[in-house]
Amino acid sequence: MQSQNAELATFPMTDHIDAQVGHVETRRPVTGRFMFAYALAQYAAWLGIMTPVILTIALKVGSLATGAQKGVYLSTVLAIGAFGAMVACPIWGAISDRTKFRYGKRKVWLIMGSFFLFTGLLTMGLSTSLFGLAAGWLICQVGSQATQASLNALMPDIVPDHQQGRMSALLGLTINLAFVSGAFVTQFTGGNMLAMFLIPWLPGPFAIAYLLTQFDDHPAAHMPKFSAMDMLRTFWVNPIRHPDFGWAFFSRFMMFTSAAFFMSYQLFFLTDHVGVSSTAVLGMIFSCTLATTTLSLIFTPLSGWISDRLGRRKPLVFGAGIVVAIGLMAVSMAHTFNHFFIASAIYGSGLAVYYAVDIALCTAVLPDPNDAAKDMGVIQIANSLPQSLAPTIAPIFLAIGSTTASNYPAVFVAASLISLIGSAAILPIRGCR
């Protein structure tokens, strides 16, 4: 198969001037085949790691804990894994930025992260205790961040500014496709715990293998020796010196916190609040996810194209956050599945547009291209920390107004307010329109 560079020979080799930041673009235009391979690898990565978050961990916890305990135990398992992901991603990014492997600094970690994820999923599938489940999830979250850190870095490494809106849209679409695929597969694997965890992982190695053929990777250039102090700096980008980065991080953090509430508690909301039976809930979640994904197939590419066409990211990101908030508030008021279905479609459509454009906005405000994987790893904290924080603070809302039952609507009201704050945090950014 031809390398990406060979395919790029068909593009005119002219520099592109970025009017917003005033620099000469030296990255060559990427091909449609690279975009497809990149999006496919990200889809497979999401499928392997997010199916447990939205469904299979909750099902496993339900088989190991009583009804009164399962909400707290689910929060604990998710929080442990998400904390590991938060710590791991910037470190993997810094390691990748400094890797001098002859075949390149990104490719080796794309492969290793997939192997680590398999190890953790296997541990979870075979576990017979909550401790084993939590240990397996920690391995998944820490190890898979090696893949995610390298995938994040490909955007600033390879994709030129004038194609980042479209690439961001394709990447944003992958998470919804992963959700619907995970929900669909879990309908048939729910009776076998090992298959339930491992089957969503299977596309990953094939997708990564294809992506490896589509771009040229190079060993890291000379960088200062990595010290203990540098290890601490991997978790930090000064928001005073780089306020745009700080606001982008804060916005993404708040939006992912609201999304973490939805993903973690939609199953229990339907079974314990709406009254859906445990045998029907998987099919209903699949129906919701399918509807949301169908809408995102329209809105996500369209929003990426509009963003590139107008050269603007902020209006789309801000508007998407408002739609997310409306959808979550509607979820909180649902008392029937049909109401929940409509509300989740509104929520999911807004989130799809947010995912489609926000990653391009984050890429535009990176402080240093030489630290792209590390800085994108810091952005990844905004994705991972909410998975830990949301289940940790959710019991506060679950306990509102009742000592005998969990107040799931209060969780979704809180999520709606959090997404409003995240949407507003985009407005102060100046370095990206």
C-beta of residue 82 within 8 angstroms of C-beta of residue 137? no
What is the mean pLDDT of the segment spanning 139-162? 87
The yes-or-no verdict on residue 322 having pLDDT over 90 is: yes
| CA distance readout (Å), 305 to 162, 163, 165, 313, 348 | 11, 9, 7, 11, 19
More confident residue, 375 or 173: 173
What are the tokens at 286? 């699949």
What is the mean pLDDT of the segment spanning 7-22? 39
C-beta of residue 372 within 8 angstroms of C-beta of residue 97? yes
What is the mean pLDDT of the segment spanning 225-245? 66
What is the mean pLDDT of the segment spanning 107-126? 94
Largest CA distance in the chain: 67
How many domains does the chain divide into?
A: 1
pLDDT value for 379: 74
E strands, 206-358, where?
none
Tell me which residue has tokens 């293998």. Answer: 209
pLDDT value for 190: 67
pLDDT value for 220: 65
Establish if 119 belongs to a structural domain.
yes
Report the range out of 62-66, 202-206, 396-400 with the highest average pLDDT. 202-206
Q: What is the dihedral of CA 285, 286, 288, 290, to 10 degrees?
A: 160
The yes-or-no verdict on residue 38 having pLDDT over 50 is: yes
What is the mean pLDDT of the segment spanning 100-122? 89
Domain around 97:
31-216+229-424
| 331 vs 321: CA distance, rounded Å | 15
pLDDT value for 68: 62
- Residues of the chain with pLDDT > 90, as a percent, come to 26
Establish if 395 belongs to a structural domain.
yes
pLDDT value for 222: 65
| 103 vs 101: CA distance, rounded Å | 6
Average pLDDT in the chain: 81
More confident residue, 394 or 17: 394
The yes-or-no verdict on residue 18 having pLDDT over 60 is: no
Main-chain phi, psi angles of 24, to 5 degrees? -85, 125
pTM for this one? Answer: 0.69
Establish if 136 belongs to a structural domain.
yes
- The amino acid occupying position 241 is R
Residue-wise pLDDT for 214-234, tens only, equals: 888 777 676 666 565 555 565
What is the mean pLDDT of the segment spanning 83-108? 80
The yes-or-no verdict on residue 331 having pLDDT over 90 is: yes
Establish if 156 belongs to a structural domain.
yes
| 217 vs 220: CA distance, rounded Å | 9
Residue-wise pLDDT for 156-211, tens only, equals: 888 887 787 788 778 877 887 888 898 888 888 867 889 999 999 999 999 999 99
- Confidence class for position 431, pLDDT limits 50, 70, 90: low
What is the mean pLDDT of the segment spanning 62-77? 77
Q: Residue 319's domain is classified under what CATH number? A: 1.20.1250.20
Establish if 222 belongs to a structural domain.
no
Bridge partners, residue 16, by sequence = 25
Nearest in space to 62 (alpha carbons), one of 275, 257, 272: 272
pLDDT value for 268: 83
- Confidence class for position 11, pLDDT limits 50, 70, 90: very low
The yes-or-no verdict on residue 414 having pLDDT over 80 is: yes
| 145 vs 113: CA distance, rounded Å | 6
Residue-wise pLDDT for 79-93, tens only, equals: 888 788 878 877 887
Residue length, the chain? 433
Report the range out of 235-239, 357-361, 408-412 with the highest average pLDDT. 408-412
Establish if 195 belongs to a structural domain.
yes
What is the mean pLDDT of the segment spanning 288-303? 82
Interacting residues of 354 by C-beta distance below 8 A, sequence separation 6+: 172, 255, 317, 320, 321, 324
Calculate ∠ Cα 359-289-424, nearest 5°: 40
More confident residue, 343 or 317: 343
C-beta of residue 65 within 8 angstroms of C-beta of residue 73? yes
pLDDT value for 404: 60
For the chain, the helix, strand and coil percentages under 3-state DSSP, each to the nearest 5: 75, 0, 25
